[in-house]
Amino acid sequence: MSNAYNRPDQLSPELRKRVLDTARRLGYPGPDPVARSLRTRKAGAVGLLLTENLSYAFRDPAAVGFLEGLALACEDAGHGLLLIPANPEHEDVAAVHSAGVDGFVVYSVPDDDPHLAAVMERPVPTVICDQPSISELDRVGIDDATAIKGLARHLIELGHRKIGVVCMRLARNRNDGPASPERQANAHFHVQRARLAALSEVFSEVGVEWDQVPVIERFDHTQESGGSAAAQLMEMDPEVTAVICTSDILALGALAEMRRQGRRVPQDLTITGFDGIVDAERAELTTVRQPVLEKGRAAGRLLLDASESTGQPREVVLDTQLITGSTAGSPRSVEERWFGP
């Protein structure tokens, strides 16, 4: 029966025609993809898990770039891309359990996310991107420590010693405000943890005590969050000369808010970002560019590549690039800052 559809060489043309004709006459809608999937154990789709509302994937430019790359890889392999609804509020893992996919790409979820646990229970290949650092799984990412160290050294060369940090959420529970050193060290988002640790390391080398460095955390990843976090930071510690943000979105928000408050950037205050999104380029933000599209594509390739025979988990580490824009400059002395040059 289904031979007529899929294996034209296995039967004579006239029988095939007869079968197809009667099938049409009977209103047969063609082979059922689900039944085929069950039998062949192939779904022809890749599942994407990310720990935000689904629509977030389309709001964050970095995520959009990643998705574009992933879509590219899927397309090459003729696979579909299934966006899995994983609301971070509800711990409803059903969507992961009911996703008919040949593998998962996990993007930017905390290492204690129940959805991630559910994915790992599924007997399909999985590629982790950026966020959780799980040793047994294939992984695509950047060297966060090295990347942000380059940025930090740049600021140190410019003369900055009084710095502050604005970072993205560190754990699944909301904490909009200062993040204690413990919270930093125990962060469930590996990327944020690595960046903070690297900053701590580099600045310690030049005598900056990390406990004294204000780190403001924001749960929501929006420009508004960046703005309010920067405001909170400057209120807590007005002597800060440089605000390091762990994402461009936050940095752009901080930039706008600081300028709104009448501070000149970079004369009065240095602001830096991370990611290298298009809007950052437009704003001439000093930042670290990471190849988001390539990241997505690499993740897809890793997942769909059949030559995964090696039992060893594979790892792809992509290069980053320091972008010196116009939002970082030398700090002015305190007198200058208060009384003008």
Residue ranges in contact with DNA by CB under 7 A: 1-3, 5-6, 9-12, 14-15, 28, 30-32, 35-36, 38-41
SS3 per-residue string spanning 77-134: CCCEEEEECCCCCCCCCHHHHCCCCCCEEEECCCCCCHHHHHHHHCCCCEEEECCCCC
65 near a copy of itself (CB under 8 A): yes
Instruction: Give the CA distances from residue 293 to residues 63, 68, 98, 315, in Å, rounded to whole numbers and listed in that order.
Output: 9, 6, 28, 17
315-318 vs 138-142, strand pairing mode: parallel
69 near a copy of itself (CB under 8 A): yes
Instruction: Using the minimum distance from each CB to a copy of itself, give the nearer residue, 79 or 149.
Output: 79
Nearest-angstrom CA–CA distance, 287 and 321: 9
Answer yes or no: are the C-beta atoms of 329 and 156 closer than 8 Å. no
Binders of a copy of itself in range 98-117 (CB under 8 A):
98-100
Nearest-angstrom CA–CA distance, 64 and 136: 27
Q: Assign 288 to helix, strand or coil.
A: strand
Out of 13, 78, 207, 340, the only residue in the binding site for a copy of itself (CB under 8 A) is 78
Applying CB under 8 A, the site for a copy of itself has a residue count of 48
Binders of a copy of itself in range 116-145 (CB under 8 A):
121-123
SS3 per-residue string spanning 205-257: HCCCCHHHCCEEECCCCCHHHHHHHHHHHHHHCCCCCEEEECCHHHHHHHHHH
7 near a copy of itself (CB under 8 A): no
Least spacing, CB of residue 248 vs DNA, in Å: 43
Bridge-partner residues for 275, per DSSP? Answer: 289
283 near a copy of itself (CB under 8 A): no
The angle that helices 190-205 and 144-158 make with each other, rounded to 10 degrees, is 40
Least spacing, CB of residue 309 vs DNA, in Å: 21
Least spacing, CB of residue 32 vs DNA, in Å: 3
Binders of a copy of itself in range 23-62 (CB under 8 A):
29-38, 43-45, 47, 53-55, 57-59
336 near a copy of itself (CB under 8 A): no
Among DNA, a copy of itself, none, partner that 146 touches (CB below 5 to 8 angstroms by kind)? none
Least spacing, CB of residue 313 vs DNA, in Å: 25
Least spacing, CB of residue 244 vs DNA, in Å: 48
Where do contacts with a copy of itself occur on this chain (CB under 8 A)?
A: 29-38, 43-45, 47, 53-55, 57-59, 64-65, 67-69, 71-72, 74-75, 78-85, 87, 92, 94-95, 97-100, 121-123
